[in-house]
Amino acid sequence: MPINFTEQSTLHVGIIMDGNGRWATGRGLPRILGHRAGVEAARRVVEAAPDSGVGILTLFAFSSDNWRRPPVEVDALMRLMAVYLQNETPRCVAQGVRLEVIGRRDRLDAKLCAAIAQAEAATAPGRRLWLRMAVDYSARDAILSAARGLPELSRDALERAMGPPLDLLIRTGGERRLSDFQLWESAYAELVFTRTMWPDFDAAALAAALREFRLRDRRFGAVPQVPVYRQQAWLD
């Protein structure tokens, strides 16, 4: 049955895809090869997500702060994203995946913007998975932009403007911080951190994170009904 993305029961998972460069460096490879391996990891996770109960998947592909990286690496990343979108659009259409890119577009080159627009239009009918890719994205900027677009500022209005709240936030690569990703949407997200580098992340790793998530007692500020076992945030 097609997923109704507005249903509260739809599980929304966000992933900070970290560790591509370190994965490559540790193998004596150029950093861009780590990013290419990360593309394969993204494909595996997107394919596994719907059957794992995930209805919305938000992937942090490129932070607004990533412009500080060497221009050669940034240029290679932009080309890689354009190729990814072109290659994956037919697969997304076939698998019922709706693709949306969130973040700024005014600093992206014309070729990448065209690839984004084409992918979004082609995949719009998809109802099996809503795949959101954060490109040139800053959560603080997103909150400011949403607030400025409201005729009257209120918590409910801003909630609607920001998009679906996260249920689970996964960060790969061993770091334990949000790095300006989905700050508003993560207000009550469960956080899972793993030392696994993103290129090594796969369907089994996603399943493990979801098992950890389902062990958590999500009280949203209320009192627990019964004592629960609290696991550490580390997945591994």
CA–CA gap between residue 103 and residue 67 (Å, rounded): 13
Q: Are 136 and 168 in contact (CB under 8 A)?
A: no
What's the pLDDT tens digit per position in 152-183?
A: 999 999 999 999 999 999 999 999 999 999 99
Fold annotation for 11-69+128-215: Undecaprenyl pyrophosphate synthetase (3.40.1180)
CA–CA separation, 125 vs 138, rounded Å?
27
State percent of the chain over pLDDT 70: 89
Q: What is the pLDDT of residue 10?
A: 83
Q: Is 87 a catalytic residue?
A: no
60 has which bridge partners? 16, 134
* The pLDDT value given to residue 218: 78
Q: What is the mean pLDDT of residues 89-108?
A: 97
pLDDT digit string, tens, across residues 129-154? 999 999 999 999 999 999 999 999 99
pLDDT-based confidence at 92, cuts 50/70/90?
very high
The full set of domain ranges for the chain reads 11-69+128-215
| pLDDT higher than threshold 60 for residue 114 | yes
Predicted local distance difference test score (pLDDT) of residue 219:
74
- From the number of C-beta atoms within 10 Å of its C-beta (0-12, 13-18, 19+), residue 72 rates as exposed
Which of 4, 18, 87, 217 is catalytic? The answer is: 18
pLDDT of residue 223: 66
Per-residue pLDDT of 22-42, as tens digits, reads 999 999 999 999 999 999 999
Task: Phi first, then psi: give them for residue 134, nearest 5 degrees.
Answer: -90, 115
Question: How large is the average pLDDT for residues 102-127?
Answer: 96
Instruction: Dump strand ranges (E) for the chain.
Output: 11-16, 54-63, 97-102, 129-137, 168-171, 190-193
pLDDT over threshold 60, residue 233: no
**CA 225 – CA 92 distance, rounded (Å):** 42
66 is catalytic: yes
Q: Where are the alpha helices (DSSP H) in 151-224?
A: 155-162, 203-215
Contacts of 64 (CB under 8 A, 6+ apart): 103, 104, 136, 137, 138, 141, 180
Confidence at 225, pLDDT banded by 50, 70, 90: low
Amino acid 1: pLDDT: 40
| Mean of per-residue pLDDT scores for the chain | 92
Catalytic residue among 4, 66, 136, 167: 66
* 65: Cα separation from own chain's centroid: 16
List phi, psi (to 5°) of 163: 105, -175
pLDDT category of residue 236 using cuts at 50, 70 and 90? low
139 Cα distance to chain centroid: 12
